[in-house]
Amino acid sequence: MEKGPQQQRIEKIFCDVIGVRESDLSDDIGYNSHELWDSLKHLELVAALEEAFGITLEMEEIVEMEDFGRVKAVVFSHLEEGEE
């Protein structure tokens, strides 16, 4: 399955902020289970995603983003809302 440009942007931001190589990226990389993804990196990730996509994440969503799969889902939910 080919990745769309939005998913590629999310992946790049995630890799740049968390310090994961793209070749190691998977949906199950989790907050605090990956050695480089701590609370400070989580906040940096939130800020980078909000800035890149022009979105504002709610506290519930920030807490919900406990693995890369959920990060994508939360961002995509905002992008879909913007298209309505």
User: Given this model, what pLDDT does residue 82 score?
Assistant: 67
> Does residue 11 contact residue 69 with C-beta atoms inside 8 Å?
no
CATH number at residue 16: 1.10.1200.10
Structural domain boundaries, residue 75: 5-83
Number of domains in the chain: 1
CA dihedral for 26, 29, 58, 46, sign (positive or negative): negative
Q: What is the pLDDT along the chain (84 residues), one digit of tens a residue?
A: 457 899 999 999 999 999 999 999 999 999 878 888 999 999 999 999 999 999 999 999 999 999 999 999 999 999 987 654
